Amino acid sequence: ELKVEQNPLFLSMQEGKNYTIYCNYSTTSDRLYWYRQDPGKSLESLFVLLSNGAVKQEGRLMASLDTKARLSTLHITAAVHDLSATYFCALQGGSEKLVFGKGMKLTVNP
Amino acid sequence: EAGVAQSPRYKIIEKRQSVAFWCNPISGHATLYWYQQILGQGPKLLIQFQNNGVVDDSQLPKDRFSAERLKGVDSTLKIQPAKLEDSAVYLCASSSRGETQYFGPGTRLLVL
């Protein structure tokens, strides 16, 4: 059974600080996704990682994938308040369905 | 390009009542998904369609939930009868086969 675990589940950090969040998964997969969800809103696709060693960056967020360790990381650089949201990693399993982690709620304080 | 459309956005019903949700995917997307997101959790797949055929409905509670995508475009998800534990956000997503899934705004259901 495909399982996805995220940690931490809650993070409060100050503006300007850096932090890395982790996503572990149980079986191999072709694709790993990171999504962002603002309160009361739907999910917005941030990154799709396709292969071992893949790294993608958008603004202050950088995602990477280590398929051998079954680990993806999302690194936050110099956090700003606008990054406050819940971040989900999701693994594409058989039949292309997504299996999501529980999400990490990020609060960036001024 | 228009995104995934869903309606209604909010629904409040009493337990044992029935409710239906509607989804219109991004034009040209053959694959349509319905997810259930309970407060504080990640979305969980209920059912996946490829055109108008069901690909995966292994986590759909078939005694009360049903879904259809008759013409391979828009879809409806129905709950009958609703239980308190069905209170959740129901998200519809669509994709071109194997590509990124794009999510609609969701329907927030409260069962009293």
Type of residue found at B100: T
Q: Which two tokens stand for residue B78?
A: 């129905």
Instruction: From chain A, pick out residues whose CB is under 8 angstroms from the CB of B55.
Output: 95-96
CB contact under 8 A, B41 and A96: no
CA distance B58 to A32: 22
CB of A7 within 8 A of CB of A102?
no
Residue B1 binned pLDDT confidence (cut-offs 50, 70, 90): low
pLDDT tens per residue across span A21-35: 999 999 887 789 999
CB of B90 within 8 A of CB of B107?
yes
Q: How far is CA B36 from the centre of its chain?
A: 7
Average pLDDT of chain A is: 92
CATH of the domain at B58: 2.60.40.10
Question: What's the gap in Å between the CA of A101 and the closest CA on chain B?
Answer: 6
The residue range of the domain holding B41 is 5-111
Number of folded domains that form chain B: 1
CA angle, residues A105, B8, B90, in degrees to nearest 5: 40
> What mean pLDDT comes out for the span B15-36?
96
Instruction: From chain A, pick out residues whose CB is under 8 angstroms from the CB of B91.
Output: 42-43
pLDDT value of position B85: 97
Domains recognised in chain A with CATH numbers? 4-109 (2.60.40.10)
**Considering CB atoms only, which of A95, A96, A100 is closest to B43?**
A100
CB contact under 8 A, B101 and A45: yes
> What mean pLDDT comes out for the span A80-92?
95
> What mean pLDDT comes out for the span A104-108?
96
